[in-house]
Structure 1
Amino acid sequence: MVGGTVREVYVPPLAPPVHSGSLGDIPFTNAIEAPAEIVLSRKQPSGNWHDLTAAEFAVQVRAVAKGLIAYGLHPGERVAIMARTTYEWTLIDFAAWAAGLVTVPIYPTSSARQVQWILDDSGARACVVENVDETRLISGLRTQLSGLDHLWQFNTGAVSQLVAAGRDVPDTAVDERRAATGPYDLATLIYTSGTTGRPKGCALTHANFFAEVDNAVELLHPVFKSVSEEPASTLLFLPLSHVFGRMVAVGCLRARVRLGHAPSIRTDDLLADLAGFRPTFLLAIPYVLEKVYNTGRATAEKMGRASSFDRAARIARSYGEAIEAKEHGTGAGPGVALKAARKFYDPLVYRRIRAALGGKVRHVLSGGSPLGHRLAAFYTGAGIEIFEGYGLTESTAAATITPPLRPRIGTVGWPLPGSAVRIADDGEILLYGGHIFSGYWDAALGAARPVTDQGWLATGDLGSLDADGYLTITGRKKEIIVTTGGKNVAPAPLEDRLRSHPLVGQCMVIGDNRPYITALITLEPDGLAHWRQMHKKQDLLPQQLVRDELLLADIQRAVDDANELVSRAESIRRFALLPADFSVETGHLTPSLKLRRAAVARDFSEDIAGLYESR
């Protein structure tokens, strides 16, 4: 503590460090210790889910690992995976590790230029893709990728092809590869999204994953180890190309939690998969939780019950805040009247929200961006405990996590057990622990180049620690806006609040070297469709919609609500409503849905200029 301000927090480990073995051992350890335990489920063409035991998964991992060996891949060589979130993705991942290889995820939405850079920079010798479009894309790059020797496609039998190739390879070949791989060997190269430049390969070791998942599993005991008779399970729908989804997949196999995969995040597809799988907990980004909430409210509005939903939401938030106060010893908890009101609205509203998530979900791990106090309190009051976290690819996902039974809504929790968080003099967040990566991949060296300072990683994010050690994210160091009046403004809080509105798709706050703050705002397709229906404006073209006075008034109310977070000097004075949403395809979002600010500023320069013209 410096001058009464907490500057550093350390949390002791809950799990011992791993001194031998690798992630490739996990399926085989599970098969020995609990061969009949269900560890995975695969969706069948019929829509039903087929369970796989630990013993069955280990057999498949070994068979595919033998195939990779048969194709001449040597320990330490890289295998790229370009596919949606599927069972085959996880199978190849663990098979590659069992064969002593290094996996390199590639988002299936990546451009040809990005794919070429990742394959070339990583020196990948093999690549597995999902479908014919990805095969064509990479085939067109083969002349520029001299090191890429093998290309397989999941939906034309890649797994069967590998299994067939490895039939004559002895089982001992896999055992020897596993025995030769240690915790400090490279496990994966995960390339950053590249919001400001070329993606960099984050070199994560097996030890990084063990430090992350072992401590997270022990901390989040109610999630991964299920304190009820219902076995813990989760449906993974976030990209396995992202470290967040990957960490949970590894954690589930490590903890022997039933894991399913959902390749599509289209609302109808995802809701159907959730209903069929019925998970007990979920890994989600705030966008998904916002979507469920907004869909619930839109449904209520269509039924003429919007005011009832809003009352229920207020009660849920009050209930969640009262629970939080009791757990911190600052309040008595929900009173009799609040309990009664919550009980009244449970079958009318809260049960419907839980049903949209499959019906059995009681815990959600939220990350990627701040969820926001109001939504976190609502879900707590609706019977779903939110564990919010913060982390980077460089920290193997979560660097901080909300501790069970000690939530502090609006923060991202305490440091991961066994790690520390420090706030630098300029407010930058620094991280330390076994989960911190070994450095960025250097193709010329064929190894990672360390970037930490005595083990501390400078994140580029800004934050503060409260007296109890909870971290609050306040912005991104490189994104701080400085107006011509000298006011420093962090755009993230304003953008996060605006994106939580059902009509808002994306938002970018502007104002660097300008006299005041403005924003570019896009419309959320589902929210807009509902608004059109409710206001009978289905016939308006996008260019007409962005000038519609009623719609502009609704967006202005959302802006006014966001402005309550900041001072007058930091508030959004004007905004431009754009007719098309930002997307990965247009180059305005990264594959992990972060804004490419430079690209947006370039492509919408005229709209931005118009915000600073005299009225």
Structure 2
Amino acid sequence: MQLIEQIRQQAANHPEQLALRGEECTFSYGQLLAAAEEIAEDLQARDIRVLGLYADNGPNWLLVDLACQIAQITLVPLPVFFSQQQLTHTLRVSGMQALLSDSCERFTALEMVGQARAELAGMALIDIYAEATAALPEHTAKITFTSGSTGTPRGVCLSARTQFTTANVLARQLQPQGNRVHLCLLPLATLLENVAGAYSSWLRGGEVVVPTTARLGLSGSSGLDVAQLASCIDEYRPHSVILLPQMLKALLEHSEHNGWQPPSSLRFVAVGGGKVSDRLLLQARSIGLPVYEGYGLSECGSVVALNVPGADRPGSVGRPLSHCDIAIRDGEVMVRGPRYLGYLDSAEGGESQWLATGDLGELDAEGFLHIIGRRKNILISAFGRNISPEWIESEVLLEPIVQQCVVVGDARPHCAALIFARPGSSREQLDSWLQAVNRKLPDYAQVRTWTALPAPLTFADGLLTANGRPRRDRIAAQFQNSIDSLYGGISS
């Protein structure tokens, strides 16, 4: 309730100050609180304890989020880019009793989904008939689902306290920059945009601007119309935004090829969700994008380290924020501090424990954290999606003509593959098969491009382990030019 208490205080002291703006409506702090309390009262009257939310970006999304905090209802944001299989899984395991959605057609074919029984916050309120009630950890305020390193998303249970603590630290850290207007560029189902974007802005007494994803030029998990995105930034002239690496790269290319210049209003641009080269950061700053890289994970409330003006080292992800500790054990980044309550399928959690992140890193002499890579073979796309290459490869290898397949895509905008096919197979056959595979995969895991390996990978040439698994680093090094060609010849 701490965020709500801060908003109540702001509403009492500055009721007319602008707090939230969409394409067709605005809310002062007084109106924001009143609207959220009205929705909360309606939800409480219906005895809803776990509520799903599947909707486009807009003020109503954030009003529902705040209403759930007021009513102490567990909110389950559903990413709009999830596949039908992933949506089914999240509805089944989260124990939600109802769903608010502006896209009912995505759910009509699911057996557990009932009829829309009311309209609330401009969306349909739909009954969900779950097979069993989920046993949520006590104080679960939000269940944020990761995109899933395999096809099954994993629910991270977070308390309001953990989210507030992270947002509050960020608010204090960024207060000197005078960032009053924050433009939400990421889907609101993304925890990072909730905590570091909206919540942190309100704790500074700022204004949150929330256009639709279409207005932003976003579609699916990785579709991006950069001209539309740049136009939106120009129109709203924000003080701060959060970008994914691929969005930053696209804006730089748009500047180079079309002469776009960022508005002078921008004071702080956070970039995270994947690896960013220091060359890219310095290039961005040279055209007037004040970009600062950070690092975090959902299990820790989204952000644990961040570069800021006066404490900045390009190539690092910044120093740890004051609410957490970071240590390196056997090369792996460990985090201690406010964190998740547990996963939906596990009781692990607890704020007194060190969390193994799975990331390899180093702390330099000045305390800046440098991320080197992943302990496991997880690809992190330029759009911040965690993807298991083995998952996709297993689907591709179901066709006998595909004898070997190595999926690539770390820090890239989409997945691609190196394939060795049965001699005599045609490219048309493989294209047709990959199209069939892609129809079963969410868009962020689809193989968009591929190239043929000149010869099979072998243990003798050092490209396979003794048990036949690909040595990914060696394959990436040996076929660097081929991989670059799959992405237009641009190296990551």
Deviation of the 1:115 alpha carbon: 1.1
Query: Is residue 359 of structure 2 the alignment partner of residue 430 of structure 1?
Result: no
Query: Is 1:186 aligned to residue 140 of structure 2?
Result: yes
Within 5 Å, give how 1:388-403 maps onto structure 2.
388-403=293-308
- Which of 14, 22, 26 is the aligned partner of 1:42? 22
Aligned partners of 2:268, 2:431: CA distance in 1, in Å? 36
Asked whether 1:409 is paired with 2:314, we answer yes
| AA of the residue aligned to 2:158 | L
**Residue 329 of structure 1: aligned partner:** none
The sequence identity of aligned pairs, in percent, is 23
* Cα pair distance change 1:403/1:196, threshold 3 Å: same
Q: Post-superposition shift, 1:366? A: 0.7
Pair 520,116 (structure 1): closer, same or farther in 2 beyond 3 Å = closer
SS in structure 2 opposite 1:217? helix
Does residue 462 of the first structure (1) align with residue 365 of the second (2)? Answer: no
Deviation at 1:467, TM superposition (A): 0.9
Distance 2:357 2:431 in 1: 32
CA distance in 1, matches of 2:45, 2:376: 47
Residue 454 of structure 1 and its aligned partner are, at CA, apart by 4.8
Match of 1:101 among 58, 73, 93: 73
Which residue of 1 is the match for residue 33 of structure 2? 58
Query: Does 2:236 align with 1:261?
Result: no
Tell me the distance in 1 between the aligned counterparts of 2:167 and 2:443: 29
**Structure 1 residues 208 and 61, CA gap change in structure 2 (3 angstroms):** same
Aligned match of 1:439: 342
The aligned runs of 1:281-360 (5 Å cut-off) are 281-299=240-258, 352-355=260-263, 359-360=264-265
d(CA) in 2 for partners of 1:519, 1:119:
30
User: Structure 1 residue aligned with 2:52, among 65, 71, 80?
Assistant: 80
CA deviations on 1:259-281 (whole Å, 9 max, x unpaired) are 11122232343333222211011
Q: Which residue of structure 2 aligns with residue 198 of structure 1? A: 152
Residue 467 and residue 584 in structure 1: after superposition, are their counterparts in 2 closer, same or farther (change >3 A)? farther
Contact 1:521 / 1:577 at 8 angstroms: preserved in 2? no
Q: Retained in 1: the 8 A contact 2:337–2:352?
A: no
Distance 1:585 1:371 in 2: 30
Whether the 8 Å CA contact 1:411–1:472 is kept in 2: the answer is yes
Q: Does 1:144 align with 2:150?
A: no
CA distance in 1, matches of 2:200, 2:2: 13
Flag the 1:202–1:124 CA change in 2: closer, same or farther, 3 A.
same
Amino acid of the residue matched to residue 238 of structure 2? P
Structure 1 residues 467 and 55: alpha-carbon distance in aligned structure 2, compared to 1, 3 A threshold? same
Aligned equivalents of 2:13, 2:288: Cα separation in 1: 34
**SS of aligned partner of 1:459:** strand
2:64 — aligned with what? Answer: 92
Q: Do the aligned residues in 2 keep the contact of 1:402 with 1:413 (CA within 8 Å)? A: yes
User: How far did 1:107 drift?
Assistant: 0.9
Please tell me whether residue 158 in structure 1 is matched to residue 123 in structure 2: yes
Matching residue of 1:280: 239
User: Could you say if the C-alpha distance between residues 103 and 378 of structure 1 is closer, same or farther in structure 2, counting changes exceeding 3 Å?
Assistant: same
- Give the equivalent residue in structure 2 for 1:241: 189
Which residue of the partner structure matches residue 345 of structure 1?
none
Equivalent position amino acid for 1:240 in 2? L
Alpha-carbon separation, structure 1, partners of 2:228 and 2:182: 16
Which amino acid letter does the alignment assign opposite residue 433 of structure 1? G
How far apart are residue 84 of structure 1 and its match? 2.1
Cα distance between partner residues in 2 of 1:206 and 1:95: 13
Q: Where does residue 449 of structure 1 map in the other structure?
A: 347
What secondary structure, in the 3-state scheme, does the structure 1 residue paired with 2:269 have?
strand
**Equivalent residues in 2 for 1:510-529, closer than 5 Å:** none
Counterpart residue identity of residue 587, structure 1: L
Distance in structure 2 (CA, Å) of the matches to 1:519 and 1:441: 29
CA positional deviation for 1:397: 0.8
Q: For residue 298 of structure 1, report the CA deviation from its aligned partner.
A: 1.9
Alignment counterpart, residue 122 of structure 1, candidates 94, 99, 119? 94
**TM-aligned CA deviation for residue 153 of structure 1:** 6.4
Asked if 2 retains the 8 angstrom alpha-carbon contact of 1:431 and 1:457, the reply is yes
Query: What CA distance in whole angstroms lies between the structure 2 residues aligned with 1:416 and 1:584?
Result: 40
- 1:586/1:466 Cα in 2 relative to 1: closer, same or farther (>3 Å)? farther
Matched, 1:252 2:206: no
**Measured at CA, do residues 455 and 380 of structure 1 come closer, stay the same or move farther in structure 2, by a change above 3 Å?**
same
> What is the DSSP-based 3-state SS (H/G/I as helix, E as strand, rest coil) of the residue aligned with 2:35?
helix
Unaligned 5+ runs, structure 1: 1-20, 45-49, 163-183, 227-231, 301-351, 443-447, 481-490, 500-505, 512-516, 526-542, 545-575, 591-595
Secondary structure of residue in 2 paired with 1:353: coil
Contact 2:81 2:443 in 1 (8 A): no
Please list the CA deviations of residues 40-86 of structure 1 after superposition, one character each: whole Å capped at 9, or x if unmatched: 11212xxxxx542100111111111111122232xxx1111111221
Q: Judging changes above 3 Å, is the alpha-carbon distance between structure 1 residues 102 and 584 closer, same or farther for their aligned structure 2 residues?
A: farther
Q: CA deviation at 1:243?
A: 1.1
CA distance 1:243–1:94, change in 2 (3 Å): same
Q: Is the 8 A contact 1:282 1:364 kept in 2?
A: yes
d(CA) in 2 for partners of 1:364 and 1:585? 35
The match for 1:212 is 166
Report the AA paired with residue 203 of structure 1.
Answer: C
Deviation readout 1:166-203 (Å, 9 max, x if unpaired)? xxxxxxxxxxxxxxxxxx82210001111135222111
Task: Tell me the CA shift for residue 519 of structure 1.
Answer: 7.3
Aligned to 2:490: none
* Structure 2 SS opposite 1:202: strand
* Structure 2 CA distance for aligned equivalents of residues 577 and 378 of structure 1: 37
Q: Indicate the residue corresponding to 2:372 in structure 1.
A: 474
Q: Is the 8 A contact 2:336 2:352 kept in 1?
A: no
Normalised by the size of structure 1, how large is the TM-score?
0.59
**For 1:462, what is the secondary structure of its paired residue?**
strand
Backbone CA RMSD of aligned residues: 4.0
| SS of residue in 1 equivalent to 2:32 | helix
SS at match of 1:43: coil
Per the alignment, do residues 130 and 607 of structure 1 end up closer, same or farther by CA in structure 2, a change over 3 Å counting? farther
Q: Secondary structure at the match of 1:220?
A: helix
Paired letter, 1:195? S
CA distance in 1, matches of 2:249, 2:451: 31
Aligned-pair distance for 1:521? Answer: 7.5
State the secondary structure of the residue aligned to 1:63: helix
- Residue 380 of structure 1: aligned partner: 285
Q: Kindly state the Cα deviation for residue 365 of structure 1 after the two structures are TM-superposed.
A: 0.8
Name which of 325, 341, 365 aligns with 2:270.
365
1:314 is matched with which residue? Answer: none
Secondary structure of 1:449's partner?
A: coil
**Cα deviation code 1:179-234 (max 9, x no counterpart):** xxxxx8221000111113522211110110121011111112234x44xxxxx201
Evaluate the alpha carbon distance shift between residue 584 and residue 460 of structure 1 in structure 2; reply closer, same or farther with a 3 A threshold. Answer: farther
Structure 1 residues 60 and 518, CA, compared in 2 at 3 Å: closer, same or farther?
closer
Q: 1:196 to 1:256 in 2, by over 3 A?
A: same
Q: 1:463 touches 1:471 (CA, 8 Å); kept in 2?
A: yes
SS of residue paired to 2:209: strand
Q: Which has the higher helix share?
A: 1
C-alpha distance in 1, partners of 2:451/2:32? 55
Shift of residue 577 of structure 1?
A: 12
- State yes or no: 1:25 paired with 2:5: yes
Q: 1:292 is matched by which residue type in structure 2?
A: L
| CA distance in structure 2 between the partners assigned to 1:608 and 1:100 by the alignment | 55
Say if 1:610 and 1:588 are closer, same or farther in 2 by CA, change over 3 A.
farther
- The 5-angstrom pairing of residues 525-540 of structure 1 reads none
